[in-house]
Amino acid sequence: MSDADHYAVTSLQCVAALRDLGFTIDGVDARTVILSKGDGRRVFVRRHSTLSPTEVRAILIAASVTRDQFERAVARRGSGSWTKDEPASHEAAPDKGLATTRLRS
């Protein structure tokens, strides 16, 4: 699959899509959002306005997520804003004390 097979998305759209696909946010700093899934997968998403097709492809490979799964999740969520310690707009607040990020459409 070439980079042309992937499209550019914002880092917020990428994080929102991965959260919809079962990933949780493990950490956020000025440059990176770290997400993981219970089965050991871990993904790093750079925080800047647009991720290149190459970056999206690398994230999907690391996440073991198909392009179709990702595109459907992006379409469901859209973009958002960074607000720590709040659930995503459609989720109940987690009771495990995990920091989350609110991502609004």
In tens, the pLDDT along 84-101 reads 333 443 333 333 333 444
Ordered structural domains, the chain, with CATH? 3-77 (3.30.920.30)
CA distance 25 to 4: 28
pTM for the full predicted model? 0.68
Sheet holding 42-46, edge to edge: 24-28, 32-36, 42-46
pLDDT in tens, 14-44: 999 999 999 999 999 999 999 999 999 999 9
pLDDT digits (tens, 9 = 90+) for 42-73: 999 999 889 988 999 999 999 999 999 999 99
29 versus 80: the higher-pLDDT residue is 29
